[in-house]
Structure 1
Amino acid sequence: MVGMRDVAKEAGVSVSTVSLVVNKTGYVSDDMRAKVEAAMQSLNYIPNELARNLYRNRTNTIGVIVPTILHPFFAALTAHLQREFAGRGLKTLLCSTADAATGESEYVNMLQRHMMDGIIMTAHTEHQPDYWTSIRRPIVAFDRILGEGVPSVRSDHEAGGRAIARQLIDSGARHVVLVGGPRSQFTEGTTFPTVRYHLTVEHMLADAGIACDYVEAGAVTDVVAHEATATAIFERYPDVDAIVGSDVVAAMALQEAGRRGIQVPTDLQIIAYDGTMAAELAGKRLTMVRQDFPAIAAALAEQMDRQIEAENKPSRGSQSESAGQSGADDPVQLGQIVPVSFIAGETTR
């Protein structure tokens, strides 16, 4: 196997010079770099990636924790994150907490042992904020607040909620049913992703005097329960004239309406929230709030880059310092917000 010493001998330079070229650190003249690169090409030298990473104190691997990849939203988010990180020369290590007995703990342990460079946390967690702030390694949260100093990215759910409510109010809806996760997670500082859009819709409909009921469809990991809930709405609320829920819920509600001979959108309006492939395959062009997956993935990757860069600065000694904590008005502290889009389809009036 060809090593650095062989390259150094071929190029007529020192091993340390070859190391600087391979690891892209320190100053090497253009002429010297050209000699080393020519020697590497001549000898078909392939740098040892593990050794390079150890030299840099990097693994070039980012952990992505999701509740489940069975849900279309997290499948789409994972795909975009993997594509985004790959474009930055990074590998993605996926953890589905619903399918791993140890949940996120194993990945946090790996992060603390420097077996990965950072974690993107997108799953609901039972851990208290001091758990996450004590890790002192690069962590970026999506759609949740993990603790002071841990940066976050989220979609503009308030804007999504306003767009939905305005559509329903303007179209003369009388009885709206919202479908979502456990209501017990609607608390201050919640890690439940879509609380903000549900609450915005409820408040605006209440102000307009429109009846609105909320139906729990189980945890986000229980996709089957979401499907069952969508079909049960018609029995529980025979006068419902608008249903709002995830892409899965909206698609199942549309199909159930067809089986019952209910005309959409004349008698029933349906609005999907997320804009994944599930919405595209519903059988009819759903009206939807689409989250911007490429922009979300890019924002999460950029925040992760900032955390890793800050951690590697000698003057930074803790996560609370290296995680972008530069004051109460720091936009990283407040959370980076990614716009959503309201797309009118064939299921609203």
Structure 2
Amino acid sequence: MRDVAKKAGVSLSTVSLVINNGEHVSDDVRSRVEWAMDALHYVPNELARNLSKNRTNTVGVILPTLRHPFFATLFASLQTALEERGMLALPCSTSDMKRGEEEYVDMLRRRMMDGIIMGAHTSHSADYWTSIGHPVVAFDRYLGMGVPTVGSDHEQGSRLVCDLLIRTGARHVVNLGGPRSQFHDLADLLASGADAEYLSTSYHSLSSYLVFRSMLPQAGVRWSFMESGEVDDFDSYARAAHDVFDRYPDADAIVCADITAALCVEEARSRGLRVPEDVQIVAYDGTYVTRLSGGGLTSICQDFDAIARLLTRRLMQLVEGPSAGEVDDAGADRVPMTLRIGSTTR
């Protein structure tokens, strides 16, 4: 830095201001300093800069697997949103790397990261997450009082799907989804009168399950739920897409995640069934996979960019503190979903 200051004919503090994008530096002085840095091949030591600020500018993003198109798409949006705030997204894939979230939480406690966005299933209690004492924001799940959560409005999205299926005359709708052992949201569940067997986890999209469970039967539509396996068990998707037609031969509508929906389209056509004339198939997520399955597929779409921006804003409020602006109360942000029928979005 002293060499740069000497070559540019400015003080050492001026060089520091330019490097740190400080104010009160004229364009002429900034240009001279940047010219000197380029001429001397000077690269600021980011590690030293961050240590002086007690920051790493790194955020751990904990997801089940990056092989899944949903989480790959979400992570891509998060990378962009975090980069706009000067942050680097560190992918922490609990399934692909065979590690639990404890390792990444330990990194946060040792200040190797500035915060965590938690988007994987966890068996830890709320006390574990609220006792960390460092910035944590949850994606699509409830981790405990005081931990902000951001996700899609699954209740609103599911109502869009139910309205469509009721309006189009569906008689038997089958939901394919992850293990029901992952469902829990104690206060909401108890208030809804849900069965006790579903009171054991933190998965917020349970609200979607509850909408289908109540709304369709009230309209006289038979409704069934079938587990399609863990999110990282890709073989189970194919088995579920095959088995659902054998187990429920009278089903005229199937709602499931994008990969399973695409496989259901293939399975239906192999059985001589027309989509959507004989069986409606609704893909729940709206990733690029739905564009590859051919015509006839309806999608309920999550807004990945909006989710990523909200997750980033919530986390940065915790990382930067009140000086970054008014900090929202910890709570839940819900992003509206849209229904896409072919090329038409509603």
Coarse TM-score class (shorter-chain normalised): 0.7 to 0.9
- Of 268, 283, 286, the residue aligned with 2:297 is 286
The C-alpha deviation readout for 1:310-332, integer Å capped at 9, x for no partner, is: 1888xxxxxxxx995x7xxx3xx
1:1-349 superposed matches below 5 A: 4-24=1-21, 30=26, 36-189=33-186, 190-310=201-321, 324=327, 330=329, 333-345=330-342
2:95 is paired with a residue whose SS is helix
Q: Secondary structure at the match of 1:203?
A: helix
Give the distance between the partners of 1:202 and 1:235, measured in 2 at CA.
22
Unaligned runs of 5+ in 2: 187-200
> Would the aligned equivalents of 1:17 and 1:28 in 2 still touch at CA under 8 Å?
no
Deviation at 1:28, TM superposition (A): 5.1
C-alpha separation in 2, matches of 1:38 and 1:259: 66
RMSD: 2.3
**Partner AA of 2:305 in structure 1:** P
Q: Secondary structure at the match of 1:159?
A: helix
Query: Once the two structures are aligned, what percentage of the paired residues are identical?
Result: 52
> 2:242 is aligned with what amino acid?
T
| Matches of 2:220 and 2:305, distance apart in 1 | 37
Residues 17, 25 of structure 2: 8 Å contact kept: no
Q: CA deviation at 1:11?
A: 3.6
- The letter of the residue matching 2:95 is A
- Structure 1 residue ranges, 4+ long, deviating more than 6 angstroms after superposition: none
Q: Distance in 2 between matches of 1:183 and 1:170?
A: 28
Aligned to 1:318: none
Closer, same or farther: CA 50–285 of 1 in aligned 2, 3 Å: farther
Give yes or no for contact 1:138–1:323 (8 Å, CA) kept in 2: no
Report the more deviating stretch, 194-203 or 139-148: 194-203
SS in 2 for 1:258: helix
8 Å CA contact 2:275–2:296 kept in 1: the answer is no
How many residues of Structure 1 are paired with residues of Structure 2 in the alignment? 328
Deviation of 1:256 after TM superposition, in Å, equals 0.6
| Aligned-pair CA distance for 1:102 | 2.8
- Work out the CA distance in 2 between the residues paired with 1:254 and 1:207: 28
Classify 1:323/1:282 alpha carbon distance in 2 versus 1 (closer, same or farther; 3 Å).
farther
- 1:10 Cα deviation from its structure 2 partner: 2.5
Give TM-score, length-normalised by structure 2.
0.88
Distance 1:294 1:285 in 2: 26
Matched residue, 2:192: none
TM-score, normalised with respect to structure 1: 0.87
| Contact 1:124/1:191 (8 A) holds in 2 | yes
Q: CA deviation at 1:33?
A: 5.2
In structure 1, stretches of 5+ residues that fail to align are 314-321
**Separation (CA, whole Å) in 1 of partners of 2:99 and 2:211:** 35
C-alpha distance in 2 between matches for 1:150 and 1:323:
17
Instruction: Spell out, residue by residue over 1:3-22, the C-alpha distance to the aligned partner (whole angstroms, 9 max, x if none).
Output: x1212323444434433332
1:46 deviates by: 2.0
Amino acid at match of 2:51: L
Q: Are the aligned partners of 1:67 and 1:123 in contact in 2 as well (CA < 8 Å)?
A: yes
Q: Deviations over 1:20-78 (max 9, x none)?
A: 332345x6553765654454344342212222211222212111110111222111111
Query: Secondary structure in 2 aligned to 1:257?
Result: helix
